Chain A
């Protein structure tokens, strides 16, 4: 166990997920911060435990076993590091466990403040169960009756530009206030007001005693033209932790250990993506995806601006059957490399929702799990795409913007071989142009998002330390030619002067070996006006970095058109899987 070089150096990060809880240790090694090790245990947020603390302590004990370093003393984390080397200097925590918040959003105009309130709600683990706008055709009492019936955990209120409308907002506040008044104390929602800042006093007087928690955020629509979700999403993240403290035993103790540095995982992930987006610059967007049991999270950074969207309906845990409201079983089974009856896939979606912490034992079960994950991520990215800014650089309206890099995490990806993970991501995200796909196998990205609050140096140094697995450079070929037609000639020129040449046919995946840490030049000659991100038919020489797989050329077109014949489709998927070493 390396000793910390500076005071306050070592950091224990706790990640409380729906399925598992992790304890992650960072410390200074040879002068810079490193991810040292992690311990894991099943989460204990749900019955029969109903206390996250139990899972947290189990995860820390597991970390103690892995590192041989004492961190706990009688159930408490030893803070700071003791002279005998035991303990830790600081603690930070993220959490995605706990119920998804039933949320009502309130705003004035459906395409202005109400839209922004919905966007704000989607930055964390919420399910919008009611939307109330100025042009709502229902009578006020009908809205009140509905709010009483659904008993929201959270109400997000926006509306009124700063210094603008107050009367219309007042009318909506009264409806919310009357609903809260009629609810019993233990059923009253938490409320976030992120509207006209001049109404704070009024809101406080009207709703202060009628909500379980009332918080104010900056106006998310300070003017009609401008939407600013960033600062209010921070308030919403804090409010969510406040709600969790009431709903989940052990959250308060964890917050004390972390000295208040506890964030919802999705928010922490978004925070990191925004930071990296600023650091990487403006040429392309930067994409972070996380496929977890509680939700699938899409965080996209564009020149320092963040588009964060959390989709509990596309999570792989308790809410999994909800995916069938958005897709068909056939759209899931189309990704299977082996024949498995649709009925079994349907049944297994429901079975999995009963036991989200279980893992696939057989290859067949794993194939089903990965097929579901592909479709969940595909649906999530398609839903999130509509919120990407218009200035995002695109090759074609119906495709994803250009991203560099794409960072992906989640239990399903960590459990799979790198090739399997890469193929899942290529199938689901269908990136365009030239990009790098990086696997966050230790699910560090959200942890670094919260750790950065305590120590700004730590995330940068850990990112540079190779704690993430770079799969390689991906070149995606867009073409509308027929299957089997050559679409690209590529020459990989190694730094030692050696070259590898290949001609790629439409519908194929190919890998050109280039080890992790090495760089090379890639000469691209698109055929038949194929587009590799440089324009139709345009080629060139680009620098590429190696990775676990090398340089990956995905000439399956965008969007990928799978053969309709099931047998042929499965053979093709098997071939692609074999190509990536899955």
Chain B
């Protein structure tokens, strides 16, 4: 039964064209008959055409009511459409009963036409969406801001608020005493409290409201308004989770790849990372079969790869390494242990800016060659065990700011030199870590200051 009901309901947009057609046909007949006596409309044809209009108008209305039950259309539009359509149907019935009183009949005819056009237009908007009739087509591919210079708040988050929230929470209308149209106003919060808790998306009011069931009165945006997409929801949560920075450039934040895709889409940047990743993998696999190395994509989310030449042994040397260097910036993990790589080959590592883990154990590299690693600012783990390196190694790797693990077992390096370096390097890391912490505290303080000031000057803003 429900299936039939659903099916009939879906016929509504189809059947809906019939009363429109018949009614407009009737108007044309009346009009030509009025101007040209030759075509004067006979009562029987008027009767016939009007009956057909009424019949299909009633049928359409019935189907429409069935359709309204099963779909989640915008409530406002739907109500309007229903109202105008029902008035039109009622008017056609009135027309039928007064079809012999010429003047009133013509008057009501014109009024009915008005309601028909409005009802039809609203129906079209329901079916085809709001932008169907707009003259300006949105061209998302137009770059709004270059991603290098884009700000996370002004260029990504604020436009999202603008699009989804500001109609009701803006300068024109500020429901719940909340305005999201400027940074200052947003930080003030609204009647029920602050918009978000920096660093904790799940306990932030805005996220809670977005996640409420659509039927809840407190759900935002309200039922009937355009809802946030999953991506936009994820974006907002991520932004709050990283502390809701308002003045940072996107390029200063370490953004996970999937989020970068969302942000780029918002900025109108065509999605490029994926084909890039594929082309890197394709090139990598060519080298893989050529040299017998193993290449992995680090994960489905990562654009980086891991290259393992350990099992090639001496067959893999400096010349092969030079060809791998072609993939340079994509390599995050590189295992050259047991290979024939020497100091001469290490220069090719300089271009591997994203290298995090490097294994050179059992190779013929020496302390002198390791100076080539200087550009590897992201290197976290360096394995040099069972090589010919000595205490001079520490001079060469002094400038590696991210180094956390250094393996020197079974080398000429003396225990005392290693210890000294360890202490110095730990201090360096600590200082760096400290600086990072201060940076993030500063960030938080600007937030807290803003909200604290606001609280004082607007004591009634939160009840």
Judge: A and B partners, yes or no: no
Name A residues whose Cβ lies closer than 8 Å to a Cβ of B: none
